[in-house]
Structure 1
Amino acid sequence: MAYDFLVVGAGFAGAVCAERLARAGKKVLVIDKRPHIGGNAFDCRDEHGVLIHPYGPHIFHTNSKRIFEYLSQFTHWRFYEHRVRAIVEGEAYPIPINRTTINRLYGLDLSEGEVEAFLEKAREPRDPVRTSEDVVLNSVGRDLCDKFFRGYTRKQWGLDLSELSAGVAARIPTRTNDDDRYFGDSFQFMPAEGYTAMFEKMLSSPLIEVRLGVDLDTVKETERWDHMIYTGPIDAFFDYRFGKLPYRSLRFEHSHLPTCDQFQETGTINYPNDHAYTRITEFKHLTGQVHPGTSLVKEYPQAEGDPYYPVPRPENEALFKRYEALAAACTDVTFVGRLAQYRYYNMDQVVGAALKTAENILARDTSAARVAESAVAG
């Protein structure tokens, strides 16, 4: 069978592109090597009936009204503002660092203005700011850096703050007020029925065919298409021609407490300095589900396994640029998504990139059709 588009990957990038193309009347085949849609945002009920995220917590947040309204076509929302605590020397403190964190940690009673002065005195100015260590020291100084960031980063990335590009730490703000929300975005919600239900609606067009547990090599032997949208690892697409791009992986340890209504005070608790895991997430905070028990996940970062996070270092970016040049020469393939673009995207950023990709493809198709019509008329 012939398709207008083959979309490789049924996560956010692939599903958004498929939905947009089908909306424009294109016939789309979506494949994924996993047995489910949704990519890492896939959710399901565990054997105890609790809605969980098998690949770790996914909390939607964005400042883009356009992206929020686009996804709202496929889901109702549950308002949810994520809060995180970090365990330092046996005590739980708000993270990102705020006025409460500093006052409780140091036994102070500073006003917002005094917190600002405290941080100004504590910070170690760095110029230029090249690494994540530069970012953190420049913002909060060495003591807070060592208590909250250095150990967590070492576990998460297998690297010191000084070995990571500045963008990693720049994602985490520092506040002088008591705002203890993890994100400050204008839109903070969770899909009311879960992510998988949202993806099912996104992919429900009769012009979209979804095949799961299928890899690209298999489909190449049996199907035909005009253009491919690839959302997997870009180095794998080119058979690792220049060597493998470094990714950080995760191992998830799920558990259920049958007689515990709530295990921890916030959705996620970070452990920057203790244990081999980085954090524990309790899903009922995120979903609002009522259940007599509760389900948790511990995250253990590791070097090997499925690729989750591109490792942001200058030498890795240079290697990616070589693959990007190969991708640019592929006129019949478009690369989009965290793995295909080797970018540490949030979910909304992936959606935005996919919407732009689909718009560009459809614009090219329209332009090509007009050229063809003009040639026939001429």
Structure 2
Amino acid sequence: MSLGQRLAQLAVSLQEPQRVASFQRLCGVEAPLGSPAADKDAETEVRGAAGDPRRRGPQSGAERNPSPAKPDCCGAPNGVRNGLAADPGPAGPRRAGSLRRNSLTGEEGEPVIVNNWPLYYLFCFGTELGNELFYIFFFPFWIWNLDPFVGRRLVIIWVLVMYLGQCTKDIIRWPRPASPPVVKLEVFYNSEYSMPSTHAMSGTAIPISLVLLTYGRWQYPLVYGLVLIPCWTSLVCISRVYMGMHSILDVIAGFLYTILILLILYPLVDLIDSFNQTYKHAPLIIIGFHLVLGILSFTLDTWSTSRGDTAEILGSGAGIACGSHAAQQLGLLFDPPLHTLPLAIPPLTVTLLGKAILRVVIGMVCVLIVRDIMKKIAIPLSCKLFSIPCDDIRQARQHMEVELPYRYLTYGMVGFSTTLLIPYIFSFIGIS
């Protein structure tokens, strides 16, 4: 057998949903009796005992996921829609009920039994490191409290890595691991395709970039960074398998894809950031470039949550870049002179901690207000401009003419406020 054949066989093996299900059982996740996943596990065990050859070798594509690909922009997700399990009866404290609900598709999680709660909460935390709630806190925190220089560059890398990952999903179009046998602990991203895992890409890009951008700029032992990278990356990657959202192959591909992107992209980050800060017409180019990327991504496939997420990512990146440009021109943004590097980490005092907490509280309140106002303006305005019925917001948002401007404008203003409006407020009240 040639090396190529062996690699192909390994890839097929790593894509098997049964491997995901086995890992979930190892971590204490079970489907309640009577649910489709539990019935599938029992059927598989019976076949294995009878010497069924499918028990011992990789399954065919149809056996891996018998569900069809998503049929249209308003239909079911991509063939791995969760079926609600039958009533499992009392499961005591081990039962975790229907988990996160997808407000855009109406899909709900299936009841599951969790036997290892520490692992459950650990992997829930790991998967949140790739969700909107984390991003909307993490990047502003760096810009407001730690180092705007690092924060801006982190956003540049994150935007490009996530954009390439989301577009690659819609080009390859591989479905999520089949359920059953996999138990879906999360359904919010179930309408998206699976390959590669963008959670794994984000969980790889952020810690590696963080260490590359801060080491030598700040004084700290390199060993801290070398410990942070594998811990962060492995936690995010493993959590996606635990949640039943990705195969092992998906997360490995996401990790390797990110390394390749960073090798090409990272040497250009300084040039991109300098252009954003100093070029006179940079805001026009930034807005236009990110908008074109958004339009291209919306033409790759039918509707899924990945399209809105892509527009949200691009809007955030454009808003932060434009806000940074304006802040630089107005003198609100200062990077320390090169001769002062590396920067010493200041001692933690009550005053320093109090100002940091105050900036976070005031800043996040402003971010949430801006986001809420823009949501209430952008969706009805888009529906009116393009003559799309706005009675059902969920259906309206599945049109590109609504989803793209809504996400792009809303999160563009959030990003702009993060780097211009809110730092101005900090300066005005004396906590800059």
TM-score range normalised by the length of the shorter chain: under 0.3
Structure in which a larger fraction of residues adopt helix: 2
Structure in which a larger fraction of residues adopt strand: 1
